[in-house]
Structure 1
Amino acid sequence: MDTSPEASSLAQGLRIVRVVVDREKAGKQLLGVSQLAAELDMDQSRVSRLTQELCDLRLLERRERGPFRVGSGFFALAATLNTGWLRDAGAELEALVAATGLRARVSVRDGFRVILLLASSNDSRAGSFVQPGMVTPVWCTGAGRALLWDHKQHAVEVLLSDVNFVGVGGPRAAHSTQDVWELMVRDKKQGFVAAVEEFEHSIVEVAVPIREAQDGILASLSVLGSSAEVASRAGELADALHQAATRLGSARAGGGA
C-alpha cells in the first residue's frame, strides 16, 4: 500500500497507542520501549522515536523511564470525539447491529488509505485487529469506495497512480485503477457500494457516504457480513445505511462536533 514515511508513522503510531490502551483497559502489565518493539515486531529505535512524539502530544505518558500509559491528551481527544455527530454515530452503529445483525463501521479517508473511526460493539473487541485507527486500502473496501463517491475518473487515476495493487485485498480485489473505476461506475448505478470479497475472503461490505451539505463527503458508513448474510439483501441494507447517513450528516450540519 502506502510506503511514504508519513503514512508508515501514522499507522505505526496508532498501533502503539492501541496496544497501550488495550493493555491498560485489560489491567495487563504495561510495556516499555523494548517490550513494545517486541510486541509489535518493530525496530526498537523507531518505537523509541514514535513514543517520544506520542508523549509530546500527550497521547501517551511515561514516568522516570518506566512503562507507557495513556496520556491526558488521549482522554481529552476521546472526550471531544464523544460529542456531536460522532456520539450519534455510535448510537447509529448499534441500531444497525440490532436491525441487521451485521457489523457496522464509520470510516474516514487519508489519501488512498481508509482509517476506521468507529466500529460497532460486535466488531471492535479488546485484542481484535479491528480497532479505531485501523488502516485499510481505499480501492478494495466498501468504506473506501464510498469515500471516493464524488471523484471523477481522472481524480481516481491520480489518487491511485502510485499504488501497488499486487498482493493487496481479497480474491475479487481490483488490480488496476481501471478496475477500480469500473467498480465505481457499477456502484453509482445501484446507488451504493457493494464490495464482495474485495478485502476479506467470503466477506461483503455494503457502504454509503455520509454527507455534510457544505463540505461534501464527511465519512462513510458501512455494514459487513458473510456472503450468505449480505448478498441477497444488499439493497435493503443500503436503504438503512442511507437513512442513518442522512441523520448523521444532518447532525454534523447542525453544529455537532
Structure 2
Amino acid sequence: MDSSAEASSLAQGLRILRLVVDREKRGRQQPGVSQLAAELDMDQGRVSRLAQELCDLGLLERADRGPFLTGPRFFSLAASLNTGWVGAAKPELESLVSALGLRARLSIRDGFRAILLRTSSNDAGLGSFVAPGMVTPVWCTGAGRALLWDHDRSALDQLLHEVNFIGVGGPGAAHSIDEVWDLMARDVPRGYVTSDEEFEHDIVEVAVPLRKTDGAILASLSALGSRAQMGTDAAGVATVLRGAAERLGSLAAS
C-alpha cells in the first residue's frame, strides 16, 4: 500500500471512530456497518474492513455482530494524552474565562486545518457545533493563524497553494494567500492575532501561539466573543493569553 492509500485509510478509520465515539457521548443508538456506511457515505465493504481493524486494535469493540462501541484501547490512549500540558489546559481555560469573561480555546494544526483540542466550559451550548475535534480552516480563525506564526511567505505559499478560498469563512475572511500574508504581517509585529468575523459572524477572536520549551509552536490559545464582549482592549486580552501559554508551554517536553 502506498503512502496516499495509507493516509486515506487512516482518515476514513478516524472518521468511523469519531462517529462511534460521538454517538456514545451523546447517548444515541450505536451504529452497525450499514449505518456507518450510510452516515459517512462510504462503501459498506470498506467500512466493514476498517471497523474490524479498529476492533483488532482495541479502539472499537463489537459483540455478536451487534453495534460498534468504543473500545478499551481508545480510553487508555485518551487517558495517556490527558496529562502534562494537555491536562493542565483545562483549568487554564477556565481561568481565562474568569479573567476575561470570554470563551477560550486550545487548538492544534493538521496541515491547513486547525483542530479544536479543548474548550472552556462556556464555549458550547445545547445544539452547538463547537466541540473538541472540530476542524476549521487554519487561515480564517485567530487560533488557526496563531499556528502559522512562524511561517515565512514561501512556507505559507506551500501550505495553502491548493486551498480553495471561495465561500469559506465569514465576511472578514481572507480570500487569497496574499490576504492571509497581509493579516500575518499586520499581527506578528504587535505580538498577537486578531480575527474579526473571519469565521463566525459577530465574533472577534484574539490568539497567541503556545510554544514548547525549545521554541517550537505546539498549539494556540485563543479567547473569543461578540464585539460587545471583546471590547477594545485586544492587547490586554493577549497579555493574559500569553501568560497562560507560557505556563502550559513550560510543561511541554522539547
TM-score by length of 1: 0.87
Match in the other structure for 1:192 = 192
Match of 1:80 in 2: 80
Verify the 8 A CA contact 2:94 2:120 in the aligned structure 1: yes
User: Is 2:69 the counterpart of 1:105?
Assistant: no
Equivalent pair of 2:213/2:252 in contact (CA under 8 Å): no
Moved more, 72-81 or 26-35: 26-35
In 2, are the aligned partners of 1:14 and 1:133 still within 8 Å (CA)? Answer: no
Are the aligned partners of 2:51 and 2:60 in contact in 1 as well (CA < 8 Å)? yes
Query: Cα–Cα, structure 1 residues 72 and 244, in superposed 2: closer, same or farther, change >3 Å?
Result: same
Aligned CA RMSD, in angstroms, stands at 2.4
Q: Describe the SS at the equivalent of 1:43.
A: coil
Q: 2:208 is paired with a residue of what secondary structure?
A: strand
Secondary structure of the structure 1 residue equivalent to 2:172: coil
- The Cα shift of 1:98 comes to 2.0
- Deviation string, structure 1 residues 64-85 (Cα, Å, up to 9, x no partner): 2210111112101111111111
Point out 4+ residue stretches in structure 1 off by more than 4 angstroms: 4-15, 124-127
Match of 1:150 in 2: 150
Q: Which moved more, 1:213-222 or 1:243-252?
A: 213-222
Q: 1:43 maps to what in 2?
A: 42
Structure 1 unaligned runs (5+)? none
Q: Which moved more, 1:118-127 or 1:73-82?
A: 118-127
- Amino acid of the residue matched to residue 87 of structure 1? G
Flag the structure with more relative contact order, 1 or 2, with Cα contacts below 8 A and sequence separation at least 6: 1
Conserved 8 A contact 1:209-1:219: yes
Query: 1:227: Cα distance to partner?
Result: 1.8
Q: Corresponding residue for 1:96?
A: 96
Which shifted more, 54-63 or 91-100? Answer: 54-63
2:213 alignment partner AA? A
**TM-score, scaled relative to structure 2:** 0.88
Matched residues in 1 for 2:83 and 2:162: separation?
Answer: 37
Deviation, structure 1 residue 12:
5.5
Give deviations 1:105-135, integer Å, cap 9, x for gaps: 1111111111111122222567643222221
Look up the equivalent residue of 2:201 and give its one-letter code.
H
